């Protein structure tokens, strides 16, 4: 088999008509279609039938990240009678402090890594706007820092950054929806189990779950575990290089509680993953455990999984990996937590999963239908094997499935 780096992204193209991209979700989340790919056979039903398709007593892992209102708009000061340029400041990830939990507790000031829209119109100086938080009028100011860092200040020592964003930020729905964010998106573009603020895009496979579906899952004795991966704007970054070796994956912050590792060990290191974000986090755990086995004193920074690590590092790559190797990796993470007196693993991953990758932990995957020539489509292809993704996507197109973030879903079982 050719090296994953040699894969041509053009081989993962398919025709996606604009009318097949769901611009809005269904009124009932669990009424969406669910394609079921099971060992080569393809069928479909409704998402609310999912619980009966999962093995009793198995493990389901989901990403509990919550999308923040990351888009902030400022108007440049202009001469009287004229309208100043509109500048968009898109908060990507915390800079100072660089911890998500601490960031949202900040009062008076904070610094973020940001993208700036209409940047040519804002060369220097600060931008200000008046905002209302809990009935109080405040001034929010932003100034350029080094690189992509932006310094925010607001004149209230008792108002948190979380309150500021909730008061004046805009939820960043995907650009391919080609519409403005609407009030309904504040509810529909969050999973019903979202808890931890930090993402700039939703883990969309989870948007189909409802309290009734979760109750039915519990009734079948299926254990649920939650981890956190904050989805960055890089999730929409197109692959522009001819071969994927030229594409740089975005690094994403992950938080995996001890309880998740313990649950995986109870289930022999195997689970059903909800969404590609959960998949990337779970598969990263195998390599993180291997790093710890090689270096028991590794720091959280040392544990970051680099993009090509699963394919290049002879110590970490193992095509003959058995269940006991996964178990030893997971136990190594628990031992590391004990030695460092922490209750969770807090690091980042840049992993790219493409054909040629061998899955270690994920046995079943719940995921939406992804854009042509995207790294997410590569991940799906690696999971189902060979060129079977084409059969799956052809079936979905032939049976009027809705695509992308607000579209329908699939349950993939290799």
CB-based contact 172:73 (threshold 8 Å): no
Across 15-29, 76-90, 325-339, least confident range: 76-90
Residue 80's pLDDT is what? 60
Is pLDDT of 1 > 70?
no
Domain boundaries, the chain: 4-67+186-413, 71-170
Whether pTM exceeds 0.85: yes
Number of residues that this document lists for the chain: 414
pLDDT tens-digit series, residues 289-332: 999 999 999 999 999 999 999 997 544 444 445 678 999 999 99
- For residue 200 the two structure tokens come to 């700039």
pLDDT tens-digit series, residues 216-258: 999 999 999 999 999 987 776 788 999 999 999 988 999 999 9
Q: Which CATH superfamily is domain 4-67+186-413 in?
A: QueA-like (3.40.1780.10)
- Return d(Cα 336, Cα 326) in angstroms, integer: 15
- Return d(Cα 173, Cα 2) in angstroms, integer: 37
Residue 76's pLDDT is what? 87
Residue 83's pLDDT is what? 65
What percentage of the chain reaches a pLDDT higher than 70? 95
pLDDT tens-digit series, residues 121-154: 998 889 999 999 999 999 999 999 999 999 999 9
Is pLDDT of 103 > 50?
yes
What's the whole-number average pLDDT of the chain? 94
- Return d(Cα 215, Cα 211) in angstroms, integer: 6
What percentage of the chain reaches a pLDDT higher than 90? 89
In the beta sheet, which residues pair with residue 348? 253
């Amino acid at each position: 088999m050719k090296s994953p780096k040699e894969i041509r992204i053009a081989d993962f193209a398919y025709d996606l008509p604009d009318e097949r991209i769901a611009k809005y979700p269904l009124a009932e989340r669990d009424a969406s279609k669910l394609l079921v790919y099971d060992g080569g056979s393809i069928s479909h039903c409704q998402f609310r039938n999912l619980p009966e398709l999962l093995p009793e007593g198995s493990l389901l892992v989901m990403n509990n990240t919550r999308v923040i209102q990351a888009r902030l708009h400022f108007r440049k000061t202009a001469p009287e009678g004229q309208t100043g340029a509109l500048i968009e400041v898109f908060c990507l990830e915390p800079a100072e402090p660089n911890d998500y939990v601490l960031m949202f507790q900040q009062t008076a000031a904070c610094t973020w890594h940001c993208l700036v829209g209409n940047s040519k119109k804002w060369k220097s100086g600060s931008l200000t706007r008046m905002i209302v938080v809990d009935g109080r009028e405040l001034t929010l100011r932003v100034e350029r820092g080094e690189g992509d860092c932006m310094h925010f200040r607001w004149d209230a020592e008792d108002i948190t950054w979380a309150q500021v964003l909730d008061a004046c930020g805009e939820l960043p729905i995907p650009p391919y929806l080609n519409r403005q964010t609407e009030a309904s998106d504040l509810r529909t573009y969050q999973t019903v189990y979202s808890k931890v603020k930090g993402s700039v895009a939703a883990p969309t496979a989870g948007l189909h779950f409802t309290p009734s579906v979760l109750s039915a899952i519990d009734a079948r004795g299926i254990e649920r575990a939650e981890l956190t991966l904050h989805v960055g704007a890089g999730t929409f970054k197109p692959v522009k290089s001819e071969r994927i070796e030229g594409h740089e994956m975005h690094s994403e912050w992950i938080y995996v509680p001890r309880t998740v590792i313990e649950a995986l060990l109870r289930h022999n290191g195997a689970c059903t993953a909800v969404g590609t974000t959960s998949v990337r986090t779970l598969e990263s755990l195998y390599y993180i455990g291997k790093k710890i086995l090689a270096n028991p004193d590794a720091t959280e920074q040392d544990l970051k999984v680099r993009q090509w690590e699963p394919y290049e590092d002879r110590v970490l790559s193992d095509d003959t990996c058995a269940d006991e190797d996964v178990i030893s990796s997971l136990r190594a993470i628990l031992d590391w937590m004990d030695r460092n007196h922490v209750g969770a693993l807090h690091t980042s991953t840049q992993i790219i999963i493409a054909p040629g990758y061998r899955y270690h932990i994920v046995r079943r995957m719940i995921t939406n239908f992804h854009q042509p020539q995207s790294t997410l489509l590569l991940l799906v292809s690696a999971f189902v094997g060979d060129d079977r993704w084409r059969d799956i996507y052809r079936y979905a197109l032939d049976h009027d499935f809705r695509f992308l973030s607000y579209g329908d879903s699939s349950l993939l079982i290799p």
